[in-house]
Amino acid sequence: MAEDMRYYETFYGIHTDDWMVNFGSFANHHKLLIKEYINDGCYTTANSTASSGYKFLYPHHIAKTYFIEGVIEGQVTFGSSEATARICSYKVNVCKVHEDTTETILYSTGWVQVNATLAWDSTYGIGEERVFPFWIDAWNYSELSEKERIYIQVQSTCTDNDNFVNCSASSCTNSVLWHSNDATWEDIKITIPLKM
């Protein structure tokens, strides 16, 4: 049996408030992929409105040239904020950006229907959070060079665009994508199989 020569790298998504990166089309960018959580005293933002698509960039070299091949796995976390919220579907894209600002989607979960109601407890001011796991087959390998960076894009919808049942646009503003700088929860986590 052949030995698996893949290297599995895990990244976590956070939003830094006082640190930003600039690479390709990512100007003054605060949403990052990191290998280890940073000090919990650092100035970060815990969540963002879920109805938008957000990009989390790993702004460093992984290797001069490397390939993604295997099964990508991870999780994303959505919650309610200030009132009951809904998440009808979500999508996670694994992408690359070149220094000339060109962006390419390499792999995607496609739209995953979840139709989740996320409760809000007004007595205690606490919203329900839900973690959604995902797996992506990446058997057609993708190459990344020293002039490219990897990022993930997390999108969600709480409207009935795809005829998903029980979706209400009015609850859209109450849903959030969590990206806390907190290793206890691992709000956004992705493990990517790499071949160097």
pLDDT surpassing 70 at residue 117: yes
8 A C-beta contact, residue 176 and residue 90: no
Mean pLDDT score across all residues of the chain: 90
pLDDT at 53: 85
Within its chain, how far is the Cα of 150 from the centroid? Answer: 12
pTM of the model: 0.91
Give the closest residue to 152 by CA, choosing from 76, 38, 63. Answer: 76
pLDDT at 168: 46
Position 153 pLDDT exceeds 80: yes
- Give the per-residue pLDDT at 170: 47
Q: How confident is the model at residue 125 (pLDDT cuts 50, 70, 90)?
A: confident
The predicted model gives 1-22 an average pLDDT of: 89
For 153-168, letters b (16+ CB in 10 Å) and e give bbbbbbbeeeebeebe
Structure tokens belonging to residue 186: 């691992």
pLDDT exceeding 90 applies to what percent of the chain?
72
Lowest mean pLDDT among 43-47, 101-105, 108-112, 174-178: 174-178
pLDDT at 157: 85
- Percentage of the chain surpassing pLDDT 70? 90
Yes or no: say if 94 and 148 are a contact pair by the CB < 8 Å rule.
no
Tell me the per-residue pLDDT of 44-102, one tens digit each, with 9 for 90 and over.
Answer: 999 998 877 899 999 998 999 999 999 999 999 999 988 888 888 999 999 999 989 99
**pLDDT higher than 70, residue 166:** no
> For position 169, what pLDDT does the model report?
47
| Structure-token pair, residue 100 | 């000339």
**pLDDT score, position 3:** 67
Which two structure tokens, joined as six digits, stand for 146?
């020293």
Q: Kindly list the domain boundaries of the chain, sorted by start residue.
A: 7-195
Structure confidence at residue 50 (pLDDT): 85
Report the distance separating Cα 8 and Cα 152, nearest Å.
16
Tokens representing residue 109 in the block:
């979960």
pLDDT at 134 over 80: yes
Place of tokens 């060109």: 102
Supply φ then ψ for residue 64, to 5 degrees. -60, -50
Q: Tell me which fold the domain 7-195 belongs to.
A: Jelly Rolls (2.60.120)
